[in-house]
Amino acid sequence: MQKKMAYSFPDEVLEQVFSFIQSDKDRNAVSLVCKSWDEIERWCRRKVFIGNCYAVSPRMVIRRFPEVRSIKLKGKPHFADFNLVPDGWGGYVLPWIAEMAGAYPWLEEIRLKRMVVTDESLELIAKSFKNFKVLVLFSCEGFSTDGLAAIAASCKNLRELDLRESEVDDLSGHWLAHFPETCTSLVSLNISCLRSDEVSFSALERLVGRCPNLRSLRLNRAVTLDKIANILRRAPQLVDFGTGYYAAELQPDVFSNLAGAFSSCKELKSLSGFWDVVPAYLPALYSICPRLTSLNLSYATIQSPDLIKLVSHCPRLQRLLVLDYVEDSGLEELASSCKDLQELRVFPSDPFGAEPNVSLTEQGLVAVSLGCPKLRSVLYFCRRMSNAALVTIAQNRPNLTRFRLCIIEPKTPDYLTLEPLDVGFGAIVEHCKDLRRLSLSGLLTDHVFEYIGTYGKKLEMLSVAFAGDSDLGLHHVLSGCESLRKLEIRDCPFGDKALLANAAKLETMRSLWMSSCAVSFGACKLLGQKMPKLNVEVIDETEPPDSRPESCPVDKLYIYRSVAGPRFDMPPFVWTMDEAVRILH
């Protein structure tokens, strides 16, 4: 009895203590300690992250956490980025907004990724949350600039409006004029995804000019190069800037104006945009290059010599996104100039061409792995690779946490030995003990999965395509990777055995995607029946899966854990395998 008394604090004290705990994982851990901690914690939780919007229902979230101020939701599976998830699959945010409008009148922040957002949803947000501050729509779709106008007009304390990489129906640039003259609170504005050629430039200029706290501004292509200087002069406090169109005929006065405007931005550390670059205008950036930590040139079709010149001016660079025009020579220069580099992404300029159009090979990546001791995150598209190169990279950079390699032609072997790349990727998982994310490509047998299952203990996300020989491959991963949360597989000969043998594992993961594999409809039904806490969804656009024999493989399969049960907003081409072996649709 007395022991209990000695350990009980008043609720207010515990609340105060908990308020210092920001991370979701830690918060979840706190709530598991005991019932009273769970109760206190849930009343003071302000931020909720829901990695799969179908894993839980809005009502359940609201019931458990009544005082939320900030919510982050993710919708479609990652492979939706590559058109593997048909339109209309789901991921609608409206039901969430509708429930939260009543339950969270003080909601301040909504962050969404891969969700379908409609103008109706945006209007509801604008109407419902009086203290709304942050709206981030990452890779979302379904809305137009009309919805944005509603947000601009109504949200008096708006701090962030970030539309990164969303598909927006850009009806006109006039929505910007809906920000009232009294709006001075903007800290971040990202409209880079807006596709129309019109933008209300004067409204934009005035908005930028009256927001003294604006730190991040990313423009779209409608803003021409000659206008950039005007914008920058109104916001010399910017830390992150995305140019619009960076091309024009070279005119000395425009150039010097631009260079002067850039040099007046003493805090500028991050640049992006750069669609259609005229290399002659790049030197306008030289004054800020020494401070740059992040540079996104992944839309800039500039050739290696110009890239090398630019990059050699940026010794503090930590993050570089670039097209493969950089070539091996450019990456070698990067390796010698940028010793602080942590993240490198090299995208293909001609992904569908049959022949290489640039001289970018595994050598460039090897050079960077050798020269950049802080390199942690890699995304690399190339056309050839060798086990030797991968082993070298792994040995040079055991601190890698993200490694995504895409060899453009599926099933490409080691170009030197013609063997599979099992050993190379095996070295990556073996040496890089903190590896959290891995994407495989090239010719791979079940062996690579054996390595991954044995060594990939911290691996959280794995992407596999055109790899493996049998169910053993999938079994190695599901049984070995203890930290696995997301697994996405396409075009691999993985079938029922591994899946059914590791059914329990699936409840410890966020989701599993399998398309063009060999999982039968019968196995899907069995899984749905055995595992009530899993939603097993079969996607088939040609015909219902039960119109064929049970042994036929399904086209696409998406399995995710959920406490909300099967969803009811499925389109005609998605079937869920309900536990009662009813096929809901």
Residue 351 binds to another protein (criterion: CB under 8 A): yes
Residue 491 binds to another protein (criterion: CB under 8 A): yes
Residue 2 binds to another protein (criterion: CB under 8 A): no
Q: How far is the CB of 548 from another protein (least distance, A)?
A: 6
* 90 within 8 A of 570, measured Cβ to Cβ: yes
Residue 198 binds to another protein (criterion: CB under 8 A): no
Q: How far is the CB of 379 from another protein (least distance, A)?
A: 10
Residue 299: closest CA among 347, 240, 350: 347
Residue 345 binds to another protein (criterion: CB under 8 A): no
State the angle between helix axes of 387-396 and 362-371 in degrees (0 to 180), rounded to the nearest 10.
20
SS3 374: coil
Residue 162 binds to another protein (criterion: CB under 8 A): no
Residue 45: closest CA among 72, 15, 2, 73: 15
Beta strands in 167-252 (DSSP E): 167-169, 188-190, 216-218, 240-242
* 527 within 8 A of 559, measured Cβ to Cβ: yes
Residue 494 binds to another protein (criterion: CB under 8 A): yes
Exposed e or buried b per residue across 301-323, where buried means at least 16 C-beta atoms within 10 angstroms of its C-beta: ebebebbbbbbebbeebbbbbbb
The dihedral built from the CA positions of residue 83, 87, 93 and 95, taken in this order, carries a sign that is negative
* DSSP state, residue 584: E
173 Cβ contact partners less than 8 Å away, ≥ 6 residues apart: 145, 194, 196, 198, 199, 200, 201, 203, 222
User: Which strand (E) or helix (H) includes residue 60?
Assistant: helix 58-64
Q: Select from 1, 5, 6, 354 the one that contacts another protein (CB under 8 A).
A: 354
Residue 544 binds to another protein (criterion: CB under 8 A): no
Q: Select from 497, 505, 530, 585 the one that contacts another protein (CB under 8 A).
A: 497
Segment lying near another protein (by CB under 8 A), choices 2-10, 31-39, 256-264, 492-500? 492-500
Q: How far is the CB of 166 from another protein (least distance, A)?
A: 8
Q: Select from 2, 542, 563, 572 the one that contacts another protein (CB under 8 A).
A: 542
Beta strands in 67-200 (DSSP E): 70-74, 109-113, 134-138, 141-144, 160-162, 167-169, 188-190
Q: How far is the CB of 8 from another protein (least distance, A)?
A: 52
* 394 within 8 A of 427, measured Cβ to Cβ: yes
- Write the binding mask 53 to 92 for another protein: x where contact by CB under 8 A, - elsewhere: --------------------------x-xxxx--------
Residue 344 binds to another protein (criterion: CB under 8 A): no
Q: Which of residues 408-427 bind another protein (CB under 8 A)?
A: 408-411
Identity of the residue, 79 or 425, whose beta carbon is nearer to another protein in the bound complex = 79
Residue 406 binds to another protein (criterion: CB under 8 A): yes
Residue 553 binds to another protein (criterion: CB under 8 A): yes
DSSP β-ladder status, 511-515 and 486-490: parallel
- Write the binding mask 255 to 294 for another protein: x where contact by CB under 8 A, - elsewhere: --------------------xx------------------
Q: Which of residues 373-392 bind another protein (CB under 8 A)?
A: 381
Q: How far is the CB of 310 from another protein (least distance, A)?
A: 20
Distances in Å between the alpha carbon of 86 and those of 89, 203, 208, 491, 511? 6, 38, 39, 17, 18
Q: Select from 10, 102, 549, 572 the one that contacts another protein (CB under 8 A).
A: 549
Segment lying near another protein (by CB under 8 A), choices 11-19, 143-151, 280-288, 485-493? 485-493
Q: What do you get for the CA distance between the two ends of the chain, in Å?
A: 55
Distances in Å between the alpha carbon of 160 and those of 134, 137, 475, 533, 566? 5, 11, 44, 37, 34
Q: How far is the CB of 223 from another protein (least distance, A)?
A: 12
Residue 349 binds to another protein (criterion: CB under 8 A): yes
User: By the criterion CB under 8 A, which residues form the site for another protein?
Assistant: 79, 81-84, 139, 165, 167, 193, 197, 221, 245, 247-249, 275-276, 298-299, 301, 347-349, 351-354, 381, 406, 408-411, 439, 463, 465-466, 470-471, 490-491, 493-497, 516, 518-520, 522-523, 540, 542-543, 548-549, 551-555
